[in-house]
Amino acid sequence: MPERAQINNRCAEVILLLSVLALVTVLTGYLQSPQPDEGIGAHIFQLSIVLEVPAILVFLVTMDWKQPLRAARRLAIPGIALMLAFSALYYLENVFYHRH
């Protein structure tokens, strides 16, 4: 496997890992009472989102542009995980914490 494809595969794995980490971190917020200050979970979420940007950029630079559908499929699950993470975060901060 060429080096470019290996880098692309690793970036896809990192993107998936960071997306799932962001989602799990937000979901653990539902197990805690509201805190007056941001906790470690908020920082983990923020770092995972910030680290997504360079991973996605490297993924896009190293992808095989002759197969764009393959790249889109590889980003589908991480994209869904990120969408769920941001949705859960919005609900957590604007609805859940106000009720508890």
| Cα separations in angstroms, 70 against 11, 37, 63, 73 | 14, 42, 9, 5
pLDDT in tens, 66-77: 999 999 999 999
Residues 6+ apart with CB under 8 A from 7: 58, 62
Where do the structural domains in the chain lie, given as residue ranges?
A: 3-99
pTM of this structure: 0.93
Q: How confident is the model at residue 1 (pLDDT cuts 50, 70, 90)?
A: low
pLDDT in tens, 6-57: 999 999 999 999 999 999 999 999 998 888 888 899 999 999 999 999 999 9
